[in-house]
Amino acid sequence: MQRVSVIQNHDLFKARAEEFVGWAKAGDVEKMLLHTSPKTLKNSKTEKVRKVYKDEVIPSFAHTTVNWDPRGKTSRDLQGNTGYIFSGYASGKSSFRFEIAIFGEGGELVVVNMRKK
């Protein structure tokens, strides 16, 4: 995983969001889990997150083209971690808008949340 000591570089965060969606499009649940917040995995249980990725996220992004909004919005969680929330539009068999939150936790860039808008 990529270490980040100071949360300032928008492009690094966006690159992680793009990588994560790429792993979803490729059906790579293990890579997605590897780059999911350990706090998210603990609070939501890893197997539950795995099932959501496998049964909902991966099929949603299969065979889609993703267009990203130009800039993410900065955000801060309850523990004081900072990150960005990126929005995009996936078009394909079914089309939808989505958001993905990338935060720095323990020096790593991780996904803390992903949802359809």
pLDDT of residue 62: 94
pLDDT of residue 80: 82
Positions of E strands within 1-117: 65-68, 73-76, 82-91, 96-105, 108-116
Cβ count within 10 A of residue 5: 7
- In CATH, the number for domain 10-116 is 3.10.450
pLDDT of residue 1: 53
User: What does the domain layout of the chain look like in residue ranges?
Assistant: 10-116
pLDDT of residue 9: 84
pLDDT of residue 47: 95
For the chain, give the number of residues: 117
pLDDT of residue 78: 83
Where on the phi/psi map is residue 23: left (φ > 0), alpha (ψ -120 to 50), or beta? alpha
Closest C-alpha among 50, 91, 66, 77 to residue 14: 66
Q: Please list the ranges in the chain whose pLDDT falls under 70.
A: 1-8
d(CA 3, CA 104): 9
d(CA 84, CA 12): 10
pLDDT of residue 106: 84
